Amino acid sequence: MPPPDTLARPESVEVAPGIFKTPGVCGGRACVDSFRIPVWLLEGYRQLGATDADLLRNYPSLTAEHLVHAAAYVVANRAEIEADIRENDEA
């Protein structure tokens, strides 16, 4: 039997290249790589006019490749990301 701490750990699922969903982490929403940075957050900043340079400066753990993965996920899952942005705005 595995140690108790491994039983409680949720499993991350890669839902697209470089994008993961983990139950109990950021509400189970799509996040970039192993970071707790939701894709909807990055897209929300982009909609407010943030550039990739702004995002990389404000999130130094991210790389340009992470932003490419996040942008591709947004294109493929626009309705999900827009709903996540709306839900956050209403909170």
In the three-class reduction of DSSP (H, G, I as helix; E, B as strand; rest coil), residue 31 is classed as strand
Within a domain: residue 80?
Answer: yes
Walking along the chain (91 residues) 10 residues at a time, the average pLDDT comes out as 47 94 94 94 98 97 97 98 96 81
Within a domain: residue 2?
Answer: no
Within a domain: residue 3?
Answer: no
pTM for this predicted structure: 0.86
The parent domain of residue 80 ranges over 12-90
Query: What is the structure's pLDDT at 34?
Result: 82
Q: How many domains does the chain have?
A: 1
Query: What is the structure's pLDDT at 10?
Result: 65
Within a domain: residue 26?
Answer: yes
Within a domain: residue 38?
Answer: yes
Within a domain: residue 18?
Answer: yes
Within a domain: residue 39?
Answer: yes
CATH of the domain at 34: 1.10.10.10
Query: What is the structure's pLDDT at 71?
Result: 98
Give the Cα separation of 8 and 46 in Å (integer): 35
